[in-house]
Structure 1
Amino acid sequence: MNLIRKYYIQNGQFFITTTPVLISTVLGSCVSVCLWDKRTHIGGMNHYLLPGTEEDKAGNADRGFPAVKMLIRSLLNRGVDKADLEAKIFGGCNSLYQKNDLYEIGKRNIDVARQILKENDIAIVASDTGGQFGRKIIFNTGTGKVKMRLLNRTAADINEEINKGFNY
């Protein structure tokens, strides 16, 4: 029996592997980009919190611009051909500020991923982004498939319950 290893990543982290594993994370306004080489089956996923800026040279993996660029560069350093990469994008919800998201963090996070992937000519083959609910995703680097579950409660709903004392 061959058991597949499981890894969980948090914001500011990314994971790349040449062997089949399951990489999971939970996203709110954060975004994860899953990259998979359909020829070699090398895959990787990131999880970033804020969009950051194009000028960001510090390499802070919890910012979108450097996080997506690091993920791409790390795969290329493992011999992956950009033409063989497929991308999937998840997250970027508006769970904290349903009525008014002044900073539009989720939307800006999504835009960063799309922009960098487009600049690198990497096809986005699937995405589930935006909305008001978070997501749990599990990326199988052996197959390139991602399972996603939409979480049915927002952070605002949970905070409201906490403030009410969970109806006690």
Structure 2
Amino acid sequence: MKAMALTDQAAHFDPRLNAKVVSVLPGNYHVIDGDAAISTLLGSCVAACIRDRDAGIGGLNHFILPASEAAGDLRSARYGVFAMELLINEILRRGGRKDRLEAKIFGGARVVDSGKDDTVGDRNGRFVKAYLSTEGIPVLAEDLGGERPRRVFFFPSTGRVLVQRLARSAAMDESAVARRAIEERVSARRAGGIELFE
């Protein structure tokens, strides 16, 4: 399996998925051209799962905010503006073609500031949709908003995505929980190209 990430991240074998899984922490991304899965935990953050549908090359990013308000702080994958550029450019560098890219998008939950009219999650969701529309990349499925965090597993070689909805408290410290393995998988059901695990 060839892999590239913003930081080195080791794959582990998950017997429940019968696959190698690479976990992506906030502010990172990962691209593969093999049969492994890429996973992340999302609260108000958003992940774009993008792949070349013919080449099977794809990846996932995990961004925290659409853009930085501080001058000179834009070139970080913590911000959607740069995270999307990094992910797409790496897929293209590995042989993907822009006209064959497709996306599935996840996250943007109201886990911290749910009493507000316009939350961080809302802004992240609007940003990723607008960005992909501007770039002409079709969104085949999405699971955005709500009040529950999600664990996402993306298989770039097939485009398959598994989503596990978690208890609301799980996203209060996304980076800490992102390091923790899933404790149990219960039932699965299909919803618009996404398999939901609850």
Shorter-chain TM-score: what band? 0.7 to 0.9
Superposition TM-score, scaled by structure 2 size: 0.71
Q: Structure 2: how far apart are the matches of 1:124 and 1:117? A: 7
Q: Structure 1: how far apart are the matches of 2:89 and 2:172? A: 39
Q: Structure 2: how far apart are the matches of 1:75 and 1:8? A: 18
Q: Which residue of structure 2 aligns with residue 161 of structure 1?
A: none
What is the identity, as a one-letter code, of the residue corresponding to 1:25? T
Superposition TM-score, scaled by structure 1 size: 0.83
- Residue 87 (structure 1) aligned with residue 100 (structure 2): no
Q: Structure 2: how far apart are the matches of 1:5 and 1:140? A: 10
Count of residues in Structure 1 that have an aligned counterpart in Structure 2: 155
Deviation readout 1:55-100 (Å, 9 max, x if unpaired): 8774200111110111111111122111111100000001112222
Residues 84 and 151 of structure 1, relative CA distance in 2, 3 Å threshold: same
Deviation readout 1:1-49 (Å, 9 max, x if unpaired): xx63210000011000111211111100000000011100001000011
Q: Which has the larger radius of gyration?
A: 1
RMSD: 2.4
Q: Structure 2: how far apart are the matches of 1:107 and 1:100? A: 10
Q: Structure 2: how far apart are the matches of 1:77 and 1:137? A: 25
Preserved CA contact (<8 Å) 1:30 1:50: yes
Residues 81 and 56 of structure 1, relative CA distance in 2, 3 Å threshold: farther
Q: Which has the higher contact order (CA 8 A, sep 6+)?
A: 1
Preserved CA contact (<8 Å) 2:43 2:171: no
Identity %: 35
Note the residue ranges of structure 2 that are not aligned, 5 or more in a row: 1-17, 174-198
For the residue of structure 2 that corresponds to 1:40, the secondary structure is coil
Note the residue ranges of structure 1 that are not aligned, 5 or more in a row: 159-168
Q: 1:125 aligns with which of 133, 137, 140?
A: 140
Preserved CA contact (<8 Å) 1:56 1:65: no
Q: Structure 2: how far apart are the matches of 1:91 and 1:7? A: 18
Matches of residues 37-52 of structure 1 in structure 2 within 5 Å? 37-52=52-67
